[in-house]
Amino acid sequence: MNTLVRDYPAKEFFDELIASDGQPRPAARALFEHLDALDAAGLDERRQAVNAAIMTTGITFTVYSEAGNIDRAWPFDIIPRVMSKKEWTRIEAGLKQRLTALNLFINDLYNEQRIVKDGVFPLEVLKGSKNFRAQCMGMTPRFGVWAHVCGTDLVRDKDGTVYVLEDNLRVPSGVSYMLENRQLMKRLFPELFQASVILPVDDYPTRLHDTLAALSPRAGVRPVVAVLTPGIFNSAYFEHSYLAQKMGAFLVEGSDLVVQADDCVYMKTIAGLRRVDVIYRRIDDDFLDPEAFRADSALGVKGLMRAWRAGNVGIANAPGAGVADDKVVYAFIPKVIKYYLDEEPIIPNVPSYLCMYDEDRDYVLANLDKLVVKPANESGGYGMLIGPRSTVEEREQFAELIKANPRNYMAQPTLALSTAPTLVDDHMEPRHLDLRPFILQSDKLYCTTGGLTRVAMTAGSLVVNSSQGGGAKDTWIVDVDE
């Protein structure tokens, strides 16, 4: 094949693009034939063009640090992750299955709690949930759906098995980068998009708008949709403004909204108050309504929960949906799927150990150097222990944290995450990656074709989060004969 493939290092892990015989997988063959026609200077020219486009467009993310909040240009690799349509079809079915079951589960927890009474889901796990909101008890949102937008993180192990690593149900982010990654690649390799059947992702803003509009409490009226943001200093503000613009929705902060005596939500405009039908909130529950949650919140809207419970406004994701966005709850989702759908999970969980159980905790404490330990409710790669890369001191600290609060910790084997060729200077090197597809549910179910591929830009690193130095690739689902 080409020099890029010939010079690619021998693979220790499952590689997404290069098969075990050293040849490109069928879905990636057209890509590598095209890259073969480019020399190092040609690749570098295209990489520089992408970096310039990122700077010009203002595609950034914010890193929180002790030195202050730092806006950084989006780190992007021009060699895409490629997957066949045949494989993706099965994954898509598994993602839809999972979100359907998760929403049945959340609705049950806030109402009859049948799954608890039947002994399938432990009461002690529910009682220990930081994201269970008593204020939501007895509530059933429209269509019985609580998590309207879900970002599910997928990983592939060394044997090629795809696992669900976690579900993000509170305020999942990253879809704007998925969309921008595709636009960058279309400008970079237009000839490949003409020569190959690469399935599109461009319809996501329309699908998201339709998902939100279906939540409107007013029939026969064009819904007024607002994206509620904490403001310009939030790490995902680029995404908030991006999606609002793409959907034709209003971008608002808490101070732009008011709940009147009729328990309806209104937006302040120069022409007076205008009723809001649906809020796509990008604010955590705690800060959503100072009347119902944290009284010191200046980000939310006083009375918003009253309006929602009265059925006068739709909120996505619904308050309380995060009860299922818990890394300990995650371990029970295969049972949740079986309980509500009477089906086996299409995509398996990563094997997990729950430190709340004596036997599991003993095993975790004895094997901290081999496991990945995660707190129940952290995100962005924070608060984790990656055992094989940890120090003795770090393991001792985590042992004390686990003993002090066993319910808050779970552990998993350190997976040999799959890799993909990534451009480093003038050659390709393998880098570990994951995949975050986005699934929408209201009156219909929709799943993005692929998703946001996050890649560890540092050799050997398993941490793909942008907040921890990770980057991204475009994800191509290719309709090709295998």
Q: What is the pLDDT of residues 75-88, one digit of tens each?
A: 888 899 999 999 99
Residue 96 has what pLDDT?
A: 98
Q: Could you report the per-residue pLDDT of 212-267, keeping only the tens digit for each?
A: 999 999 999 999 999 999 999 888 898 999 999 999 999 999 999 999 999 999 99
The answer to which of 56-65, 368-377, 389-398, 425-434 has the lowest mean pLDDT is 56-65
Helix 175-188 to helix 237-247 angle (10° resolution) is 70
Percent of the chain with pLDDT over 70: 93
Which of 183, 124, 131 lies closest to 355 in space, CA to CA? 124
Residue 384 has what pLDDT?
A: 86
Q: Is the pLDDT of residue 10 over 80?
A: no
Task: Give how far Cα 100 sits from Cα of 103, 443, 476, Å.
Answer: 5, 11, 25
Which of 138, 197, 442, 198 lies closest to 320 in space, CA to CA? 138
Which tokens go with 146?
């609580």
Residues 88, 449: Cα–Cα separation, whole Å = 8
Q: Could you report the per-residue pLDDT of 419-477, keeping only the tens digit for each?
A: 999 988 778 899 999 999 999 999 999 999 999 999 998 888 887 876 666 789 999 99
Residue 76 has what pLDDT?
A: 85
- Mean of pLDDT over the chain: 91
Q: Is the pLDDT of residue 399 over 70?
A: yes
Q: Is the pLDDT of residue 69 over 80?
A: no
Residue 71 has what pLDDT?
A: 55
Residue 73, H or E segment: strand 68-73
SS3 state of residue 198: strand
pTM over the 0.95 mark: no
Answer whether 416's CB lies under 8 Å from 423's CB.
no
Residue 66 has what pLDDT?
A: 46
Per-residue pLDDT averaged across 320-341, rounded?
Answer: 96
Residue 88, H or E segment: helix 85-109
Task: Give how far Cα 231 sits from Cα of 138, 237, 318, 342, Å.
Answer: 32, 7, 20, 43
Q: Where are the domains of the chain?
A: 353-413
Residue 81, H or E segment: strand 76-84
Q: What is the CATH number of domain 353-413?
A: 3.30.1490.270
Residue 6 has what pLDDT?
A: 67
Residues 359, 213: Cα–Cα separation, whole Å = 48
Q: Is the pLDDT of residue 64 over 90?
A: no
Amino acid of residue 453: T
Residue 58 has what pLDDT?
A: 65
Q: Is the pLDDT of residue 174 over 80?
A: yes
Q: Give ∠ CA 213-214-220 in degrees, rounded to 5.
A: 80
